[in-house]
């Protein structure tokens, strides 16, 4: 059974044309089945500003109203996804772009209103890998943006990290699955101001200790909770760090273990 | 051998949410392999205006500069394509969106500068149906927007009518192929001001006569030349008219015959 590698990239790569080119050259050379998931970077906010669409906030949280949904759909599924696909093709990596609507691959439910109405934000409900697996079987790489749909004709904005982990979970039913979260640090840091404080290995047990000791804080907590959930449910390997961790495995980074 | 139906829709459907919904309900019910190609409608011009991007003209012809290319990529491959895909899924029609970069399906060359520099406009050079045929073989409908690429990482803006006829030509190598151009008239009109003057049948021979007699003028001439080229080269059937010509074949419309 082949290992499917699911690689998630975010703003630090997408917003920097040279970094994106370099990443895609290396990604294209990766052997074996692979899937790319990309976030949105700063382009959507830039476009909103240019269009005079205000970022709507409520209780300090960003919400996705209809104009914002149209912007992220245009930017994520259009500009960024197609730019990546064209560059992969130029590197002889045959690829097909996906939103969650394409092939009905990622179905979400609009987040129910409790105290906050997040607008057109979707929480993943179901992943159908029929089309992505068909393509992987023919050596073609699926590239996912963070737009999903609700099977009733409504597109939804979904967190790209979550899409990556949900895809990894779904793939783990038929494949060995490795998930790589690329970001702008060498890994999970014990001290956020010290790039050399990378925690090389985190297990479910040490994760709790690191949270209790406040070494791991804020947005990194739900992100890692998500990761351990995926590891408990079939994903073989999750690694976090700079993209070089994938292409040069000796690069210092964080490895999560169940 | 199944007949693949390639249906091209333009602004009169895309710009009207009710017309688009109605069309997609009917399109979803069509049995057999089918492909949808969509143009851009007015949304790109609206976005350009909103963003303060001026439409660049030269010698009275519109050119696609870099900001315009980004706009059409966002609108065609993002907003319009994903809206269509989500609506098809809601109608139980499993579909996957394509630009020409996806699956390397439609490769174009940037139009060479003779007297006019059209900017990032691509003329189709090569069609590769590997991925679309793979999907059709599994009952999945490819939906193409009018963005192509040059295999060197550059996206290009390409005429949607041309993409439809190039796809039809390429499909005709392995399938019987029928091509439907939906537009806002009942068919090719003998008198453009008289909706009841539909020319029911045009052959290669009568086409020349109709042009000589100036019944067919302006943009309809290259459009039909394109169609007769496709008919001469393997496409079985081309029909032009309102979308109802597809779903209710007795609807008055124009049938082209070689």
A130-143: pLDDT as tens digits:
999 999 999 999 99
Query: Residue A77: closest CA among chain B residues belongs to which residue?
Result: B78
Write the pLDDT tens digit of every residue in B6-17.
999 999 999 999
Structural domains in chain B plus CATH codes: 3-182 (3.40.1160.10), 186-242+251-258 (no CATH)
Q: Tokens 């091509």 — which residue?
A: B179
Residue B23 has pLDDT above 80, yes or no: yes
Rounded (10°) CA dihedral A82, A88, A90, A91: 170
Instruction: Judge contact between A136 and A164, C-beta under 8 A.
Output: no
Reference A4, options A146, A134, A150, A133; nearest CA is A133
Give the tens place of pLDDT for each residue, A155-169: 999 999 999 999 999
Range in A217-221, B34-38, B78-82, B106-110 the model is least confident about: A217-221
**pLDDT digit string, tens, across residues B124-157:** 999 999 999 999 999 999 999 999 999 999 999 9
Name the residue facing A96 among B77, B90, B131 (closest C-beta): B131
Of residues A58 and B104, more confidence is placed in B104
DSSP B53: P
A167-178 pLDDT, tens digit each: 999 999 999 999
Model pLDDT, residue B203 = 96
What pLDDT shows up at residue B206? 95
Q: What is the pLDDT of residue A56?
A: 82
How many other CB atoms are there within 10 angstroms of residue A221's CB atom? 13
Provide ipTM, 2 decimals: 0.96
* Across A79-107, average pLDDT: 98
> Of the given ranges (A25-34, A108-117, B237-246), which has the lowest mean pLDDT?
A108-117
Rounded Cα–Cα distance for residues B116 and B58 (Å): 7
CA distances (Å), origin A243, targets A9, A187, A253, B186? 8, 10, 10, 55
Q: What is the mean pLDDT of residues B193-202?
A: 95
Check whether A190 is labelled as a binding-site residue. Answer: no
Q: Is the pLDDT of residue B41 over 90?
A: no
Distances (CA, A) of A134 to A57, A111, A227, B18, B162: 40, 30, 26, 34, 29
* Helix (H) or strand (E) run with residue B134 in it: helix B130-136
Chain B CB contacts of A137 below 8 Å: none
Model confidence at B37, in pLDDT bands (50, 70, 90)?
very high
Confidence of residue A186 (pLDDT cuts 50, 70, 90): very high
Name the band, by pLDDT with cuts 50, 70 and 90, for residue A73. very high
**Mean pLDDT confidence for A10-17:** 94
What is the spatial distance between Cα A144 and Cα A39, in angstroms, rounded to a whole number?
9
The CA-based angle B8-B242-B83, given to 5 degrees, is 45
What are the tokens at A6?
């699911």
Q: What is the dihedral of CA B186, B190, B196, B200, to 10 degrees?
A: -60
Chain B nearest C-alpha distance from A152 (Å):
5
DSSP B175: S
Q: How far is B82 from chain A (nearest CA, A)?
A: 7
Residue B58: is its pLDDT beyond 90?
no
- pLDDT average, residue stretch A11-20: 95
A101–B79: do the CB atoms touch at under 8 Å? no
Averaged pLDDT, A49-60: 84
pLDDT at A1 over 70: no
Amino acid A192: pLDDT: 86
Query: Mean pLDDT over all residues of chain B?
Result: 95
- Position B1 pLDDT exceeds 70: no
The reported pLDDT for the residue numbered A258 is 84
How many residues in chain B? Answer: 258
With a cut of 90, say whether residue B258 has pLDDT above it. Answer: no
Query: Cα dist. A71→A37, A48, A245, B6, B50 in Å?
Result: 19, 7, 32, 30, 12
Distance CA(A223)–CA(A225), nearest Å, equals 6
Task: Determine if residue B41 is labeled as part of a ligand binding site.
Answer: yes
Q: What's the whole-number mean pLDDT along residues B103-124?
A: 94
pLDDT category at B2 given cuts 50, 70, 90 is confident
Residue B184 in this model has a pLDDT that exceeds 80: yes
Answer for the pair B107, B99: CB distance below 8 angstroms, yes or no.
no
Query: pLDDT exceeding 70 applies to what percent of chain B?
Result: 100
Q: Which candidate, A5, A7, A3, places its Cα nearest to that of A175?
A: A3
Top residue of A18, A49, A89, A98 to mutate, by most chain B CBs within 10 Å, is: A89
Is B11 annotated in some ligand binding site?
A: no
> How many inter-chain contacts (A to B, CB under 8 Å) are there?
133
- Closest in A86, A97, A130 to B154, CB measured: A86
Confidence check: pLDDT of B183 > 70: yes
pLDDT of residue B234 exceeding 80, the answer is yes
Q: What percent of chain A has pLDDT over 90?
A: 86
DSSP chain A: -PEEEEEEE-HHHHT-HHHHHHHHHHHHH--S-EEEEE--TTHHHHHHHHHTPPPEEETTEEEB-HHHHHHHIIIIIIIIHHHHHHHHHHTT--EEEE-SSGGG-EEEEEPPPSS---BSBEEEEEE--HHHHHHHTTT-EEEE-SEEE-SSS-EEE--HHHHHHHHHHHHTTTSEEEEEEE-SSSS-BSSTT-TT-B--EEEHHHHHHHHHTTSS-TTHHHHHHHHHHHHHTT--EEEEE-THHHHSTTS--EEEE-
Do A9 and A38 contact (CB within 8 A), yes or no?
yes
Known binding residue A103? Answer is no
């Amino acid at each position: 059974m082949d290992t499917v590698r699911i690689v998630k990239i975010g703003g630090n790569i997408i917003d920097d044309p040279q970094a994106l080119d370099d990443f895609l050259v290396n990604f294209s050379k990766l052997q074996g089945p692979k899937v790319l998931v990309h976030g949105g970077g700063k382009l959507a906010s830039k476009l909103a500003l240019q269009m005079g669409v205000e970022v709507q906030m409520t209780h300090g949280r960003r919400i996705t109203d209809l104009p914002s949904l149209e912007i992220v759909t245009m930017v994520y599924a259009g500009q960024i996804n197609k730019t990546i696909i064209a560059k992969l093709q130029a590197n002889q990596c045959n690829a097909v772009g996906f939103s969650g609507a394409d092939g009905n691959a990622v179905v979400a439910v609009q987040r129910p209103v409790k105290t906050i109405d997040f607008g057109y934000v979707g929480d993943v409900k179901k992943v159908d890998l029929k089309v992505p697996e068909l393509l992987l079987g023919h050596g073609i790489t699926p590239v996912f943006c963070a737009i999903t749909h609700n099977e009733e004709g409504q597109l939804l904005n979904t967190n790209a990290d979550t899409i990556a982990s949900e895809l990894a979970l779904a793939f783990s039913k038929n494949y060995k699955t490795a998930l790589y979260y690329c970001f702008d640090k060498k890994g999970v840091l014990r001290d956020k101001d010290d790039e050399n404080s990378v925690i090389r290995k985190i297990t479910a047990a040490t994760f709790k200790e690191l949270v209790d000791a406040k070494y791991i804080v804020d947005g990194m907590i739900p992100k890692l909770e998500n990761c351990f959930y995926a590891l408990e449910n079939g994903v073989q390997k999750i690694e976090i760090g700079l993209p070089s961790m994938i292409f040069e495995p000796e690069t210092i980074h964080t490895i999560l273990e169940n």
